[in-house]
Copies of this chain bind each other. A is one copy, B any other.
Amino acid sequence: MKIMEDVSVVSQEKVAFQTHLLRLSAGRISREARLGQFLMVQVRDGTDPLLRRPFSFHRIDAEQGVVEILYRVVGRGTWWLSQCDSGARLRIIGPLGNGFQLPQCGPAPVVAVAGGIGIAPMMQLLEKLAQWLAPSGKTREIHLFYGARTAEEFIPGKAFDTLGITVHWSTDDGSRGHEGFVTRLLEDTMRREKIKPCVVYSCGPLAMQYHVARWALENGVPSQLSLESLMACGLGACLGCALPAVNPAAPQEEHYLHVCKDGPVFKAEMIQWHKIQTHPATPPIFLFS
């Protein structure tokens, strides 16, 4: 059941470089939502911007009736969203899309890859997995490969240590952990430590996802990649959020899946990676100067 709900902002907090945490009092949606799903937010009244913006659930707390989104300010929409104070009203639609699946495997480790704001849908998932695995007595490891451009972009994740999640940090500028791409760190670590995970969860820029997908396919690791696309409706109606996909019935044919309806979580083998065009990334330098 998809719900349009008028919610109020419980709090808004800047938690890292250009990154905000927004808590929304959304009683109805919080009860229906699952991790990996997303919502569409009307960031402002009126026609500027016109369309809603999609954000993953960062945390879902059905008991408190609260959902959280963690987002990076990258353009007009997210900038205006960052201006909302506690008590402000927002119109949201959710929960949309399909969430993450729990891993279907034995004691093999679970691997997660997060690039930049890609940490958003991952944090509570990892916490849940850790809590779920601990009592089961299985000595299953959880590895998070967490990359960013620079150290100040990382979200403070206090819970990692106490939950026994091994975090592998990487930054483009070497300011924390490995210097270079997080996918390179993933490949090297996995090869060196001869880990054969039972699943890889991943969220981040498409260029990163491509490398995760390639690694997963080459190593036969089942994957759950949360992918992005420009969206108008989030409901499967506009067909705008298409990604080039493999048609299992006719692999040579042109075929598309839709992020809002068939995703946002996909298996690596579903996507025709060589046909993907990243949507243009316009640095917002003129907006904020």
Contact = CB atoms under 8 A, between A and B. Distances in A.
Contacts of A46: 44, 46, 48, 76, 80
A5 to B, nearest CB: 20
A47 interface: yes
Interface in A69-87: 76, 80
Interface size class of A (residues with CB under 8 A): under 10
Secondary structure dominating the interface of A: loop
Q: How many copies does the complex hold?
A: 2
Nearest to A83: B45
Interface in A38-82: 44, 46-48, 76, 80
A194 to B, nearest CB: 54
Contacts of A76: 46
A48 B48 CA distance: 6
A80 to B, nearest CB: 8
Given A46-B76, A47-B48, 4 more contacts: A44-B46, A46-B46, A46-B80, A47-B47
Interface of A: 44, 46-48, 76, 80
